[in-house]
Homo-oligomer: A and B are copies of this chain.
């Protein structure tokens, strides 16, 4: 497991987040929509001084409460109390980590297996030295540059270079200003840029996983494929509902809502991009490619496509194939001619993230019978049997991403990502070390797995009462089992003066629903192809759990069929992001994604006669092992 932390640096030792504020939208609400919860200990009355933010431009006039908490120098530097900022203020903000409550901004990475991911880079750069024009050597500027480019890259010969109008309007002066020496950037037959000096090594891409609950972004060096920075945020569209159906409904009922949702999302993506670029210390003008892998609804909302038809039968997507657009339309802080690629989708509920996960796992080329399960808020399942591919989706809920769990959180700093019981005690693995703040997806599976292993939870998912363990108190961390005044049981994994972290009976039910949904999907999809789990040669489990889940716990909780031998199981981490990384670096990867998506047959499991029965059976935890 690879762990790394990612922070937007502001001043030495100061961590924090950046935000763009629009007039009329309100600082606190805008921050919340970006997943940033400001500390408002005094309730926003300007009395605690904890919600310090710094305007990087257009700071509003300082008020009386600002002057109370900040020096003149600080006020001049743009420091203000967030709660005192008027609603009409706008500009760019820095929010220090200390002004944020909880888990903001620290994340754990999933391992990024780079492989041979850049065989066909979409963008190439070269440093060129051209001859100065004379009467005897009077080629046009663009032709002169083209000839030098072809000399530097002989394999590009035969492609005439074209360029955008704005670049052409500057090109003559730039070439002369640089004395006919500089770096060109070319995509296919388009000259994207000419820069003075040698910047031929500076070419970057951004890859995004647009999940229902979480947004993950990765900044890559296009020439080496190395990851330079990684970031994750809560999806700000949670403000419109934590499942895609709620968001589709919101976007469908009000014309302005779609626009507002798109703007909110773009704002988050822009802020994430800026932070990554800042962290890696690269120039935004050297980011030439973006790749977005999102579920069908998220890709619609990002692009401003009305998702209404996705929300009602027959659940039709606007597009199927992948599509590319100039990123200028999205206002992202990258090169003017940067290209944004969106993954193809398979159906209304099997989206580009699944295609990306399939791409990353080389699913199409694998032999035998294989199943890929992407355990997100919407669970996607793809079955491959020889050359044939089927896909289906199932509503798993956000438990795997730590959401809708009483003390769940996304896989960020402070999240419990692993739990091990030993005798009466237990050990926690916390992202970033330090005190735990909540439980993320992998921690939830680990904890439930341990509870099942020790028999503290039964096959039906019931937390057992302490009385059931009479005489065996020393074997298990029974003291963690608590009953509140109303008789509700919970299992406490951490306690301190400031609070405790516990798993409730309701949380276990959430996980149960998630694993049951996925298992039902697997069973029905296999059945559709006339197969069973016994026929499987390979099962790939992907998902933004936080870290790699352990196979044994996956099997105990029922996420992974318990009869499947471990050697047939591959835990893939956030494979959707991996696929997006590939696509941002390689045109061949995009072509492969297109071909893959076009081959898959979408199956609607909700119409299956066996659904209810299969689901009911799947809600039973297979790994309950009370050894009393």
Known: A165-B329, A304-B165. A318 touches B139 (CB 8 A): no
Known: A142-B321, A320-B143. A314 touches B173 (CB 8 A): no
CB of A345, distance to nearest CB on chain B (Å): 7
Is residue A423 within 8 Å, beta carbon to beta carbon, of the partner chain? no
CB of A598, distance to nearest CB on chain B (Å): 9
CB of A428, distance to nearest CB on chain B (Å): 45
Taken together as a complex, chains A and B put the C-alpha atoms of A524 and B537 apart, in Å, by 81
B316 touches A141 (CB 8 A): yes
A314-356 residues with Cβ-Cβ distance < 8 A to B are 314-321, 323-325, 329, 345, 347-348
Taken together as a complex, chains A and B put the C-alpha atoms of A80 and B478 apart, in Å, by 93
Taken together as a complex, chains A and B put the C-alpha atoms of A604 and B136 apart, in Å, by 10
Known: A165-B325, A321-B160, A323-B162. A305 touches B143 (CB 8 A): no
The residue on B at minimum CB distance from A136 is B314
A346-376 residues with Cβ-Cβ distance < 8 A to B are 347-348
A320 touches B165 (CB 8 A): no
A168: which of B139, B309, B318 is its contact (CB, 8 Å)?
B318
Is residue A306 within 8 Å, beta carbon to beta carbon, of the partner chain? yes
A316: which of B140, B162, B305 is its contact (CB, 8 Å)?
B140
Taken together as a complex, chains A and B put the C-alpha atoms of A141 and B314 apart, in Å, by 12
Taken together as a complex, chains A and B put the C-alpha atoms of A138 and B604 apart, in Å, by 11
A309 touches B138 (CB 8 A): no
Is residue A171 within 8 Å, beta carbon to beta carbon, of the partner chain? yes
A345 touches B303 (CB 8 A): no
A165 touches B303 (CB 8 A): yes
B169 touches A304 (CB 8 A): yes
| Chain B residues with CB below 8 A from A306, complex form | 169, 172-173
| Chain B residues with CB below 8 A from A348, complex form | 138
B141 touches A318 (CB 8 A): yes
| Chain B residues with CB below 8 A from A324, complex form | 162
Taken together as a complex, chains A and B put the C-alpha atoms of A138 and B317 apart, in Å, by 9
Is residue A119 within 8 Å, beta carbon to beta carbon, of the partner chain? no
CB of A335, distance to nearest CB on chain B (Å): 18
Is residue A133 within 8 Å, beta carbon to beta carbon, of the partner chain? yes
A319 touches B141 (CB 8 A): yes
B134 touches A314 (CB 8 A): yes
| Chain B residues with CB below 8 A from A313, complex form | 135
The residue on B at minimum CB distance from A314 is B135
Is residue A22 within 8 Å, beta carbon to beta carbon, of the partner chain? no
The residue on B at minimum CB distance from A160 is B321
Known: A140-B319, A143-B320. A169 touches B305 (CB 8 A): yes
Is residue A509 within 8 Å, beta carbon to beta carbon, of the partner chain? no
Q: Per-residue CB proximity of A279-321 to B under 8 Å, as 1/0?
A: 0000000000000000000000001111011000111111111
Q: Per-residue CB proximity of A164-194 to B under 8 Å, as 1/0?
A: 1100110111001000000000000000000
Taken together as a complex, chains A and B put the C-alpha atoms of A140 and B342 apart, in Å, by 15
CB of A259, distance to nearest CB on chain B (Å): 10
A140 touches B304 (CB 8 A): no
Count class of interface residues, chain A: 35 or more
| Chain B residues with CB below 8 A from A323, complex form | 162-163, 168
Is residue A150 within 8 Å, beta carbon to beta carbon, of the partner chain? no
Is residue A482 within 8 Å, beta carbon to beta carbon, of the partner chain? no
| Chain B residues with CB below 8 A from A320, complex form | 139-140, 142-143
Copies of this chain, count: 2
Is residue A587 within 8 Å, beta carbon to beta carbon, of the partner chain? no
B138 touches A316 (CB 8 A): yes
A140 touches B602 (CB 8 A): no
CB of A339, distance to nearest CB on chain B (Å): 12
CB of A602, distance to nearest CB on chain B (Å): 7
A317: which of B140, B317, B325, B602 is its contact (CB, 8 Å)?
B140
A133-159 residues with Cβ-Cβ distance < 8 A to B are 133-135, 137-143
| Chain B residues with CB below 8 A from A168, complex form | 303, 305, 318-319, 323
Taken together as a complex, chains A and B put the C-alpha atoms of A132 and B500 apart, in Å, by 56
A172 touches B314 (CB 8 A): no
A142: which of B171, B172, B176, B319 is its contact (CB, 8 Å)?
B319
Taken together as a complex, chains A and B put the C-alpha atoms of A176 and B323 apart, in Å, by 22
A309 touches B172 (CB 8 A): yes
| Chain B residues with CB below 8 A from A319, complex form | 140-143, 168
CB of A332, distance to nearest CB on chain B (Å): 13
The residue on B at minimum CB distance from A340 is B165
B165 touches A314 (CB 8 A): no
Taken together as a complex, chains A and B put the C-alpha atoms of A323 and B169 apart, in Å, by 13
CB of A477, distance to nearest CB on chain B (Å): 50
Taken together as a complex, chains A and B put the C-alpha atoms of A323 and B133 apart, in Å, by 22
| Chain B residues with CB below 8 A from A345, complex form | 140
Taken together as a complex, chains A and B put the C-alpha atoms of A137 and B164 apart, in Å, by 41
Known: A169-B304, A169-B305. A315 touches B138 (CB 8 A): yes
Taken together as a complex, chains A and B put the C-alpha atoms of A324 and B164 apart, in Å, by 9
| Chain B residues with CB below 8 A from A143, complex form | 319-321
Taken together as a complex, chains A and B put the C-alpha atoms of A604 and B135 apart, in Å, by 9
| Chain B residues with CB below 8 A from A347, complex form | 138
Taken together as a complex, chains A and B put the C-alpha atoms of A411 and B535 apart, in Å, by 84
CB of A100, distance to nearest CB on chain B (Å): 34
| Chain B residues with CB below 8 A from A173, complex form | 306
Taken together as a complex, chains A and B put the C-alpha atoms of A607 and B138 apart, in Å, by 15
A-B contact pairs, 14 of them (CB 8 A): A133-B309, A133-B314, A135-B315, A135-B604, A137-B314, A139-B316, A141-B319, A142-B321, A164-B325, A165-B325, A168-B305, A169-B305, A169-B306, A176-B309
Binding site for B on A (CB under 8 A): 133-135, 137-143, 160, 162-165, 168-169, 171-173, 176, 303-306, 308-309, 313-321, 323-325, 329, 345, 347-348, 602, 604, 607
* Complex A-B, nearest 9 residue pairs according to Cβ-Cβ distance, in ascending order: A140-B320, A140-B317, A135-B314, A143-B320, A142-B319, A133-B316, A141-B318, A138-B314, A165-B325
